Amino acid sequence: MMDKPKVRISVRNLVEFILRSGDLDNSRGSGDREAMLKGGRLHRKIQRSMKGDYQAEVSLKRESEYEDVIIQVEGRADGIFTEEELIFIDEIKGTYGNLQAMEKPVPVHRAQAMCYGLIYGAREGLSRIGIQMTYSHLDTEDTRRFREEFSMEELENWYQELLDAYHKWIAYSLQWRRERNASMTDLQFPFPYREGQREIVSGVYHTISSGKTLFVQAPTGVGKTMSAVFPAVRAIGEGKGETLFYLTAKTITGTVAQEAFHILREKGLKFKVTVITAKEKMCFMDTPECIPEKCSYAKGHFDRVNDAVYELWTSREVYSREILREHAEKWKVCPFEMCLDLAVWTDGVICDYNYAFDPNVHLKRFFGENISGDYIFLIDEAHNLVERGREMYSADLYRQVLLKLRKKVRTPFPKLARALDKASRQMLELKENLEEAGKTYLVLPNPGPLPITFLTISGELEEILEEKNLEEELRREILEFYFTVRDFLNVSELVDENYVVYTECCGDEDIHLRLFCVNPAGNLGEYLKKGKSAVFFSATLFPMLYYRELLTTEKDAYGIYVRSPFPVENRRILIGSDVSSRYTRRGYGEYRKIAEYIARCVWQRQGNYMIFFPSYRLMEDVYQVYEEEFSVDWVRCIRQNSDMTEREREEFLEEFQSREGTLVGFCVLGGIFSEGVDLTGERLIGAVIVGTGLPQIGSEREILKEYYDRRNHAGFDYAYRYPGMNKVLQAAGRVIRTKEDKGVILLLDERFLGRDYAEIFPQEWQDRSVCRMDTVEQDLDVFWKRFT
């Protein structure tokens, strides 16, 4: 007979999951890292102050056997002591709340103590046991205690009900896992392998099996998504992984992943996948405010959410945004929070990078303190994670924000106002130092005394947010500022050699302090270590050494470079040698050249084209010249604008579904239409890319350049050339998506002819050639005649 599987769960997680109740309320500061540290210190102080036979941090566990599983509940009791011949379990909690206003202990805290009481009492053969709830204020250290006494029979019955409620979930989970794994027995790759796909599938499978890290660069259209998803799913079926995280930078790439799972389900796969959508898009309210007074879905949310999740989990395999919202409406719960709870029980999660890596919004159910698992990370469009990672682990402070809040809290909260005054003076000193140095920005050795000042401010804010009668608008402002302070304090603890701390002036009055994470690899690695294996893949991970250095600290991470499977004769790459987008050359003369190049390109063959510019300003300037001097009746033009709604984006792309006439889309390089857009066949036959994509010169780029120069890297390449070239390659990748696609890529900037660029062009671009204004039409004519 096979051994029964064993499931382990902590006392705290068990009671917080099964017994949670009441409202969802995000109007108060959540227990941040500093509160946890303060709480830990206070725990130890209280434990040390106890006399007699007081035992601190007693490890306890209990196994309960069911027909299908053994459930092991474990944890550490804060304290155990004897008083008047009765043994007590002590559960200590730190709080910023008003102790005198407490009428009874928090139910889940009491339940934790009851669990420890049952486990300890049963182990020691007791007939009765006491529990004590010790609440201590995190600032004043005032203490209040609640006591109860239970018979062991009472606790046994209560504990069994608690465990049975949890077993229901485990029983279905085990049953589903058997069904899921059986469905993979004969599961095959759903298509004939394209060139390069088998190599990716094999590489991903072996990477997961060995718990390693892999980088895959494969051209657009190879089928990277299925090539990564299929072996990851098979690995999970064989017990080589636990939860599959498909991480994306944009919603559209998540849609491609959903489609891959759909195709595998049609082939017989059973695999439950949750799609996590941004809270703003899930919420039923106009403004997502999780406050019971304002949202009926937040009121009583925890009373209903477990039943809602269980019903949805056991009745479906696919959990799209529409399905989640419909189910949340039925149960009157918050759709976003329900979705996060559901994710814990599903086999796969499709979500934005933030939910795995961002210290402020990561899924605490998977990536919280001391939580890990055999997670498999598939990181799509991984080139985006460099800048996103830098942003996630950086933090900012602006003096004007302090001053604005100080005015509002001076009268009601003078203690907070004084602390803000102190921080303001410290920031003013930074401004004076910057002005004295006569620079636009000043690099500092560290954040100085500000983190200590903000620790005090954080405690004040926590206390204020506990107040019940706080005026609503002021509460909102204080809460927003509280999150800014929390972010700053959390990041200040991460500052090391991968950071640059600097100040810069903003306008005449304001001063900005930034804790800038230059290399996010170490911070990303802390989250990747919580899983088993990671696969980074993109059409543009070149040079791979650059991305490996910025995305992982794994020394034995390896890479696969997949060549394009598409016939080179189906596309033409031309570099315009007599045109430039350099700032020094910008003006009517150069705009006219660019406009004429565009016209000569699109006049050669009827179809749809995208023109990519390095900025909206240049796009508008060239568009104006194009319209005035080169517009013709049979060419229609549309433009991207900077504040498009989701519907406007969809409408823009819908224009390219038509294959009649000629459509020219003026777009921005690195924007929403330059990557993740799939326009196959005749829907896009050409891309004109204006400029080399170099980021604008600014404080941050110059700091990056200096940082990498100091480390004997090519600072200009790391700060400017590589990120710029990435945008160019992504935009060019819109054109050839399948073996049948035919198209042209026109690069308009003489800088592409330099040796620095020749070294970073993809291998499959070796057939690129040079053109001039007077030869471009002939070059294109020769190319297009092959297909007539």
pLDDT at residue number 137: 86
**pLDDT band, very low/low/confident/very high, at 506 (cuts 50, 70, 90):** confident
Q: Which two tokens stand for residue 132?
A: 């004590």
Mean pLDDT, the chain, whole residue set: 92
Confidence at residue 1, expressed as pLDDT on a 0 to 100 scale:
47
CA distance 693 to 732: 12
pLDDT at 245 over 90: yes
The percentage of the chain sitting over the pLDDT mark of 70, rounded to a whole number, equals 97
Distance spanning both ends of the chain, measured CA to CA: 70
Residue whose entry in the numeric block shows the structure tokens 């946890």: 36
Rounded distance between C-alpha atoms, residue 360 and residue 357, angstroms: 9
d(CA 575, CA 688) in angstroms, rounded, equals 10
Name the residue with higher pLDDT: 163 or 468.
Answer: 163
Whole-angstrom CA distances from 176 to 20, 169, 171, 237, 602 are 25, 11, 9, 12, 55
Which band of pLDDT confidence, cut at 50, 70 and 90, is reported for residue 33?
A: very low
Read off φ and ψ for residue 631, nearest 5 degrees.
-70, 140
The position carrying tokens 């919580």 is 530
pLDDT the model gives residue 646: 84
What torsion do the CA atoms of 735, 249, 255, 335 make, to the nearest 10 degrees? -160
As a whole number of angstroms, the distance between CA 299 and CA 746 comes to 57
Quick one: average pLDDT of 445-469? 91
Share of the chain above pLDDT 90, in %: 79
Res 177: pLDDT: 95
Question: Are the CB atoms for 89 and 147 separated by under 8 Å?
Answer: no
* Third-level CATH fold of 184-271+347-393+520-565: Rossmann fold (3.40.50)
Asked if pLDDT for residue 32 goes beyond 80, the answer is: no
pTM reported for the whole predicted model: 0.91
Residue 212 pLDDT exceeds 70:
yes
Q: How confident is the model at residue 29 (pLDDT cuts 50, 70, 90)?
A: low
CB within 8 A of 583, min separation 6: which ones?
A: none
Question: 720-749 as b/e, with b when 16 or more CB fall inside 10 Å?
Answer: bbbbbbbbbbbbbbbbbbeeebbbbbbbbb
Task: Assign domain 568-785 to a CATH class.
Answer: alpha beta
The stretch 765-769 carries a mean pLDDT of: 94
Q: State phi, psi for 672 to the nearest 5 degrees.
A: -65, -20
Q: What share of the chain is helix, strand, coil (3-state, %, to 5)?
A: 45, 20, 35
Supply 482's token pair.
């509280």
Q: Burial, 387: exposed, middle or buried (Cβ in 10 Å; 0-12, 13-18, 19+)?
A: middle
> Is 163's pLDDT higher than 80?
yes
Given a cut of 80, whether residue 606 has pLDDT beyond it is yes
457-461-467 Cα angle (round to 5): 155
Interval 620-674: pLDDT, tens:
999 999 999 999 999 999 999 999 998 999 999 999 998 789 999 999 999 889 9
The reply to whether 6-172 and 568-785 are identical in fold is no
The pLDDT tens digits of the residues spanning 349-376 come to: 999 999 999 998 889 889 887 788 999 9
In CATH, which of 3.40.50, 3.90.320, 1.10.540, 2.40.128 is domain 6-172?
3.90.320
The pLDDT assigned to 40 comes to 65
The region, left, alpha or beta by phi > 0 then psi within -120 to 50, assigned to residue 734 is: alpha
Is 198 or 137 the better-scoring residue by pLDDT? 198
**Banded model confidence at residue 566, pLDDT cuts 50, 70, 90:** confident
- Nearest Cα neighbor of 569 from 706, 721, 743, 729 is 743
- Three-state DSSP class for residue 243: strand
Q: Running DSSP on this structure, what letter comes out for residue 445?
A: S
Domain residue spans of the chain: 6-172, 184-271+347-393+520-565, 283-345, 398-517, 568-785
Nearest Cα residue to 681 out of 658, 663, 665, 661: 658
Place 470 in a pLDDT band, splitting at 50, 70 and 90.
Answer: confident
Binned at pLDDT 50, 70 and 90, residue 98 comes out as confident
DSSP state of 62: E
**Residue 45 pLDDT grade (very low, low, confident, very high; cuts 50, 70, 90):** confident
